[in-house]
Amino acid sequence: MQLLGILAFVVALLLSVMLHEFGHYAMARSFGMKVSEFFLGFGARIWSTKKGETEFGIKAIPAGGYCKIEGMVPSDIMPEGEQSRAFYVAKSSRKLIVLGAGSLMHFVLGYLLLLLLFAGVGTNQLLPVVQEVVKDSAAQSAGIRANDEIVAINGHTVTDWFNDVKAIRNSHGNELTLSIKRGSEIISINATPRLEKVDGNNRYILGIINKVGLKRSNIVVSLKNSATVSIAFLRESVKSLIHLPSKIPALWGQTVGGQDRDPNGLVGVVGAARVSGQAIGSTTLSISERLSTFILIVASLNIFVGLFNLLPILPLDGGHMAVAIADEVRAFFARLRGRPRPAAIDVSILTPITMVVFVILAALTVLLLVADIVNPVILNL
């Protein structure tokens, strides 16, 4: 089962990469730019087919994918008569849309995965089913039993215990009428909540411990919850990127110094795959809980990757977007001075900076790879 989880993660990762590239492809085509290649993987061609002017195919190394938009820099040679379709001559607004479309696809995929989780698989929630009745409590005095399901409170149907339990907490000690499903029959029980101290706060309670289980949310609640969790993931991703440099020394110590691996520290693709394998292969979780954990991992990863790709450094898309914005700033000041629009910045002149960033990212990737192999993150699932 663990191997199945790793394979599922690899497939999900490749799908995410191709959706990222499809975002670039779709927007570039919509603006009339020339896209000559769209491939899964790198290296030697295994299979390809041409549709229109674009060659689609698979390459030998399944470590990502790419779509080739012609004319990314002025030195690129465009076919005769198609110079106007080069990327570098497009309006900056169109460049930004094409470049940002990849990250947008990650955000959309992350949101849709969360929507699938809430509306399709379900999430762990408190159920209106009694697991245990506290001794000498109001619930015991009223005759409530384990496995009773509270279906209504004072005539209001219970649909979400997290919210419906407020009727008990806001009762001010007044008697409540509970409609309870016991076995195959519905019975009515009157119970008076008691004021007791819970977690340092005075609260009216009945004295029941609810069961916890997977529950699907309706589509409206799912749409809202998916947005809320997406924003939460985005905030955590921002924090992770801010603290990323400070975590590298600790990662080095965990890799070569034998220190315990921090489960909240940096983790690479191999580590994420192993964690996914642990989730799918867990013997303590139900099948639905394994699936929900896997979905959360993939959704959070997509949102993080989408944000990471927007960092204003080359060779990331965010770096190219920063160049496009710089072009507009230069054009703005040229207009103020009554001068013609300056030529677009040639990204190729920034190659030395790009190479430095590439080497840094490659070194971090190798360090993460070694760490994930010699000292992997272990989840207690």
**pLDDT by residue (tens digit) across 312-362?**
999 899 999 999 999 999 999 999 999 998 888 888 888 888 899 889 988
Q: What is the pLDDT of residues 92-110, one digit of tens each?
A: 999 999 999 999 999 999 9
- pLDDT given for residue 68 in this prediction: 95
Please check whether residues 25 and 160 belong to one and the same domain: no
Q: Could you give phi then psi for residue 124, rounded to 5 degrees? A: -65, 120
Within a domain: 327: yes
Last residue of a domain, one of 215, 231, 265: 215
Please check whether residues 280 and 204 belong to one and the same domain: no
Please check whether residues 201 and 309 belong to one and the same domain: no
Please check whether residues 114 and 138 belong to one and the same domain: no
Number of compact structural domains in the chain: 2
Tell me which residue has tokens 């914005």: 325
Q: Which residue range is the domain that position 325 belongs to?
A: 1-34+70-122+218-381
For 190, left (φ over 0), alpha (ψ -120 to 50), or beta?
beta
CA–CA separation, 370 vs 379, rounded Å?
A: 18
Q: What is the pLDDT of residues 219-234, one digit of tens each?
A: 999 999 999 999 999 9
Closest CA to 65 of 41, 43, 45, 48: 41
Please check whether residues 278 and 182 belong to one and the same domain: no
CA–CA separation, 175 vs 161, rounded Å?
A: 19
Task: Please calculate the CA angle 105-76-30 and round it to the nearest 5 degrees.
Answer: 35
Within a domain: 79: yes
Please check whether residues 239 and 332 belong to one and the same domain: yes
Please check whether residues 159 and 224 belong to one and the same domain: no
Please check whether residues 107 and 145 belong to one and the same domain: no
- pLDDT given for residue 381 in this prediction: 59
Q: What is the DSSP letter of 73?
A: S
- pLDDT given for residue 274 in this prediction: 85
Last residue of a domain, one of 198, 215, 232: 215
The CATH number covering residue 129 comes to 2.30.42.10
Measured in whole angstroms, how far is the alpha carbon of residue 2 from the centre of its chain? 21
Structure-model confidence comparison of residues 85 and 5, the more confident one? 85
Residue 258 reports pLDDT greater than 80: no
Please check whether residues 235 and 106 belong to one and the same domain: yes
Last residue of a domain, one of 191, 215, 239: 215
